[in-house]
A and B are shown apart, each in its own frame.
Chain A
């Protein structure tokens, strides 16, 4: 096949979601020639997310217009390495993004900083409970970077997003109303917390009466007029109820479009090519230096793009797959435990309770941002005494409502008829009068949970699909059972007529059908040496020094918190290292 060879650029960015856009904007000021390649479509607030067309649950929420189309590319899934993996044919459990802005377009906007102990999970568990409490198959490890190092970059990203929230720990001082377990922050949140719905108010009252510390969820949904550090003006959230799975018509939910692109477009040294699917990262004969990337356009024509620096900033799963397809880094071998690419795949363990109240309580679930609600952090890892509980990790528990879309967000009691007049009666009875308590839990990494290339199934370009070998492990099932008990305790105080559990039970297996979260992590993890990681603390490949890998693929394990905070702060941290250290002296920033 003929390949069109392009003139070299200084920097090529693979994937143009949150991390690609942040990196492009941070490096644009250097004047270097930067090209971003995005496999999906061009998209912007107008016209793509314009009101009222965007308020269409079927098109965006159910047929998933803004997401990756599995017909073109998906993953295969199996529970253990002894099983035969089959394709994830219909999206359910997780929903990778596609197009300009990536998953940053259709996320809910929950924006967390980790606590100091989250980044030192292995040391913390060892110090508090002893190394023997870590199961033999659990490949827990510390981040190679500290909270103190990352703090300025969390602050910067919060400011980029006009983040709404209530500080709980301002320079070491506890602030009433915030999360008392929060790591110290130098600055308060840029804008005031989102308003609370009735569900969040009831939850807060009940949690407080039990001695817990409820606080409004930190949200990348701007609540006041805000001009961000890039000079971009954000809108004020109007609680339209169409965050999750939708683009924001209002310019208030932070996305690359609403916070970065208006500024990035001013730089003539930056260009973006959409519908450009990168097939592989090319390396020189030594295999130690990237020479650029090969990509295919919408007509099927192949292109070669030489570049001095390659930024891999696709979604977590694609980062792993592209490294495997490019032969960069040693693939993980679950039998021997050797190799690193694909190692430490993790996910998120969620549970929920539906609380059916009856018609005296109006929850109005349609009035919401993606992140309206109240959480407690009292049972997150490190925040309570876990001696003898038999699990590592923890969860947040809270009442969050992200909308009341009738096809997908209308929980009914299990005994309710599924059709007929009985179903109609049930939806009338419950739609406005039901709320949910959710638990969002950590997932530890295991020797037997990993990603590699599938031997059978291919994508639309004929390249092997990524294969996911993953199942729930006893540690996480114990954790979520514990959280169910705590959530039920709060629910009892709240006084619902009926409470039904959606928590996993011992013996349950990972099920790809119901949506759980798109917080897939690991596979190119960051660490302090090349034996336990793919990238160093600056997200630089140990093997190929002019390749940086950004995103949740660098998480050694997954936290209870949603990932975007760490994803974007580490991208800004890597950009800073590239600008201040790497460009001055290209080469490994950490000696292996």
Chain B
């Protein structure tokens, strides 16, 4: 069983670190603390994750959205304490984020879905435009940023996005949602070297042994549970289910 104290501790630690590093805004809770309330960072050293790409407002959105897409619950840690926001942020500075793994030459045209991705937007732009549009939408309707809404309201908005009911100029809401959900799951399920899945919680949850990659014995024991907990590429050992 997952130890929930540890889970809660992990989440607090993550948020605390995020807080300490963002010089312009704070993340925790529902308010924005005045700048003077910032904890003084350790001199000359960044004590935790500093977003490489997202600006402070976007960072608040990413943390809030990840927390709803894969929440912490009775089944264990969620995306936030596992570091998924860090994962997504780092991906934005990879060739992937710049669209350098996709053919992005014009002309761009509308197409039937079967012809695949035809948007001129690369992941960085999808996030930048998408988050700005959603926060603007939330300001109009709720006079608050997405990150400051109640979880129930956040879920309702994510559901609308997923269903294609919210569209913004130059950006279909479903396109943004697909991008966000895809990256959130990637971060939650990938090896921790990429920034998410820091305690291998997702692998423990489902029963994936991670980087063990050696199963002669298991092949001799079909239909038997695998006995060992997951391990990461770096050798970190996760918890048993």
* Residues of A in contact with B (beta carbons under 8 Å apart): 51-53, 55-58, 62-64, 69-71, 74, 77-79, 84, 86-90, 92, 195-198, 201, 238-242, 249, 361-364, 366-368, 372, 404, 406-407, 410, 418-421, 423-425, 427-428, 431-432, 456-458, 509-513
Please tell me if the beta carbons of A240 and B215 are within 8 angstroms of each other in the complex.
yes
Render B113-154 as a binary contact track against A, CB cut-off 8 A, 1 for contact. Answer: 111111000000000000000000000000000000000000
Task: Let me know if B71 is at the binding interface, CB within 8 A.
Answer: yes
Q: Which of A55, A79, A84, A201 contacts B233 (CB 8 A)?
A: A55
Q: Interface on chain B toward A: helix, strand, loop, or mixed SS? A: loop
Please tell me if the beta carbons of B116 and A513 are within 8 angstroms of each other in the complex.
yes
Interface centre among B99, B101, B224 (most CB of A within 10 A): B101
Task: Let me know if B175 is at the binding interface, CB within 8 A.
Answer: no
Please tell me if the beta carbons of A421 and B211 are within 8 angstroms of each other in the complex.
no
**Complex interface: chain A residues within 8 A of B109 (CB):** 84, 86
Please tell me if the beta carbons of B223 and A196 are within 8 angstroms of each other in the complex.
no
> CA A57 – CA B213 in complex, angstroms?
12
Task: Let me know if B28 is at the binding interface, CB within 8 A.
Answer: no
**Complex interface: chain B residues within 8 A of A425 (CB):** 75
Q: Which of B102, B117, B189 contacts A406 (CB 8 A)?
A: B189
- Report the 6 A-B pairs with minimum CB-CB distance, sorted nearest first: A367-B215, A240-B213, A431-B206, A198-B222, A58-B190, A195-B219
Given contacts A57-B190, A197-B222, contact A419 B96 (CB under 8 A): no
Please tell me if the beta carbons of B103 and A89 are within 8 angstroms of each other in the complex.
yes
**Complex interface: chain A residues within 8 A of B117 (CB):** 89-90, 513
Please tell me if the beta carbons of A70 and B205 are within 8 angstroms of each other in the complex.
no
Please tell me if the beta carbons of A241 and B75 are within 8 angstroms of each other in the complex.
no
**Complex interface: chain B residues within 8 A of A69 (CB):** 100-101
Please tell me if the beta carbons of B181 and A419 are within 8 angstroms of each other in the complex.
yes
Please tell me if the beta carbons of A458 and B105 are within 8 angstroms of each other in the complex.
yes
**Complex interface: chain A residues within 8 A of B158 (CB):** 419
- Residue on A with the closest CB to B180? A419
**Complex interface: chain B residues within 8 A of A240 (CB):** 213-215
Q: Which of A53, A201, A241, A424 contacts B73 (CB 8 A)?
A: A424
Given contacts A406-B189, A424-B75, contact A239 B222 (CB under 8 A): no
Given contacts A51-B213, A89-B103, contact A406 B70 (CB under 8 A): no
> CA A511 – CA B220 in complex, angstroms?
39
Task: Let me know if B58 is at the binding interface, CB within 8 A.
Answer: no
Please tell me if the beta carbons of B211 and A420 are within 8 angstroms of each other in the complex.
no
Task: Let me know if B191 is at the binding interface, CB within 8 A.
Answer: yes
**Complex interface: chain A residues within 8 A of B226 (CB):** 362, 364, 366-367
Q: Which of A70, A74, A92, A361 contacts B223 (CB 8 A)?
A: A361
Given contacts A90-B117, A241-B215, contact A406 B223 (CB under 8 A): no
Please tell me if the beta carbons of B101 and A89 are within 8 angstroms of each other in the complex.
no
Please tell me if the beta carbons of A406 and B208 are within 8 angstroms of each other in the complex.
yes
**Complex interface: chain A residues within 8 A of B105 (CB):** 87, 457-458
- Residue on B with the closest CB to A198? B222
Please tell me if the beta carbons of B101 and A70 are within 8 angstroms of each other in the complex.
yes
Please tell me if the beta carbons of A366 and B115 are within 8 angstroms of each other in the complex.
no
Please tell me if the beta carbons of B75 and A239 are within 8 angstroms of each other in the complex.
no
Task: Let me know if B69 is at the binding interface, CB within 8 A.
Answer: yes
Q: Which of A51, A62, A90, A196 contacts B116 (CB 8 A)?
A: A90
Q: Which of B70, B118, B218 contacts A239 (CB 8 A)?
A: B218
Q: What are 28 A-to-B residue pairs whose CB atoms are below 8 Å? A: A56-B193, A57-B189, A58-B191, A69-B100, A69-B101, A70-B102, A71-B104, A86-B115, A89-B104, A89-B116, A238-B214, A239-B214, A240-B213, A249-B213, A367-B215, A367-B218, A367-B219, A421-B71, A423-B70, A424-B71, A424-B78, A428-B206, A458-B105, A509-B112, A510-B114, A511-B114, A513-B114, A513-B117
A76 to chain B, nearest CB (A): 9
Task: Let me know if B31 is at the binding interface, CB within 8 A.
Answer: no
Please tell me if the beta carbons of B103 and A74 are within 8 angstroms of each other in the complex.
yes
Given contacts A242-B213, A420-B155, A510-B114, contact A362 B219 (CB under 8 A): no
Please tell me if the beta carbons of B111 and A86 are within 8 angstroms of each other in the complex.
yes
